[in-house]
Amino acid sequence: MASELVTTLPLSSRRRFRLNSSLVMGGSIVLLMVLAAIFAPLITPYDPIRLSIPSRFQPPSPEHLFGTDQYGRDVFTRVLYGARYDLLIAVLAVALAAGVGTPLGMLAGYFRGWTDTAIMRVMDLLLAFPNILLAMTLAAVLGPSLNNAILAVAIVGIAGYARIAYASTMAASTEVYVEAARALGAPHHRLLLRAILPAILAPIVIRGTLGMGFTILLAAGLGFIGLGAQPPTPEWGAMINEGRNQVILGRWWTSVFPGLAIVLLVTGFNLLGDGLRDALDPRTR
C-alpha cells in the first residue's frame, strides 16, 4: 500500500521519498517490528504466558535468545508478543486523539468567536498539565487496565492535534480557493471537508507518526508503575517493572531486552516522522 501511495505522487515527491534516509530507516524499523508482532507464533515456539518454573532465570542462550524470567517464560517470546500490545496502544491512542482533536481544532479555527474561545480554552487546560502526570491521573481514576491506558494516553494527546489543526485551519481559511468557494455559496461542511482538511492533513499525519513514539513511551511508563496493562500481559513497560528487582541480582536480561525494544520502536517512529516531514515539506521541493 505504501508503494502505491508513493507511485501516485509527483516525480519530485517520489525522489524525496526514495532519497530520504530517515524515512527509509524509520519505515524499515517500524515494518520489521510490525512483521515480528504479526508472525510471532511462527518465529518462536514458546507461549508468552505459560509458566515453566524449572526454566526460571536462564541467561540468554541458543535455546532462549533473551533468557527467561522469574516464572520461566521466554523473554524473547514475550518481547515479540509485547510488540502487539504496544503497537495496538500507539495506533488506537493516536487515532482517538487525532480523531477528536483534529475536528475540534478545525471548528475553532474556522468559526472563530465563541467557538474558538470555548474549544481552545479547554485545550489550554489540558496542555497546562504535564503529560505524564495527566496520564497517570486519568489512568488511576479509570482503573489500571490496557483499555483505560489507551484512553488515558489518547486524552492526553487531543490538545496537541487540536492546536495543530487550529493553526493550520486559520492559515488555510485565508487561501484564495477557500475564499472563492465561500463566495460561490459552498456550505461550511463542504469547505471544511473538501477544501481545508486536505490542506492540513500533512502536518496531522506527521504529528501522528511522531506522536506514536511518545505514545509508546507514555504507555510503557503507565505499565511500569502498574497503571497500564496488567500481568501476565506481555507489555514492555510491565515487563520492565516485573524484572527491575532482578537487574540488581545480575539477571539483567529480564528488563534490558524489553527496554531495548521500546528504544528501537520509538526511534523507528521518530525517524519515520522526520522523514515524512522532510518529504512532505513544500519548501524542500
Angle at 259 between CA 140 and CA 214, to 5 degrees: 55
What's this model's pTM, rounded to 2 decimal places?
0.85
pLDDT of residue 17: 52
At 281, the pLDDT band (50, 70, 90 cuts) reads low
Amino acid identity for residue 271 in this structure: L
pLDDT digits (tens, 9 = 90+) for 152-189: 999 999 999 999 999 999 988 888 878 887 788 878 78
pLDDT of residue 284: 54
Residue 10 has pLDDT above 70, yes or no: no
> Helix (H, G, I), strand (E, B), or coil: what is residue 68?
strand
At 125, the pLDDT band (50, 70, 90 cuts) reads very high
What's the CA gap between 132 and 134, in Å, rounded?
6
Identify the structural domains of the chain with CATH numbers, from first to last. 18-36+68-280 (1.10.3720.10)
Cross-strand partners of 74: 68
At 4, the pLDDT band (50, 70, 90 cuts) reads very low
pLDDT digits (tens, 9 = 90+) for 19-51: 578 889 999 999 999 999 999 999 999 999 999
Residue 107: closest CA among 181, 192, 175: 192
What's the CA gap between 177 and 169, in Å, rounded?
13
Task: Kindly list the distances between the CA atom of residue 217 and the CA atoms of 26, 82, 168, in Å, as whole numbers in the listed order.
Answer: 17, 14, 27
Residue 84 near residue 40, CB atoms below 8 Å: yes
pLDDT of residue 83: 94
Residue 213: closest CA among 263, 159, 269: 269
What's the CA gap between 18 and 122, in Å, rounded?
41
What's the CA gap between 154 and 126, in Å, rounded?
12
Crossing angle of helices 146-173 and 113-127, in 10° steps, is 140
63 phi, psi to nearest 5 deg: -75, -40
The least confident of 61-75, 196-210, 240-254 is 240-254
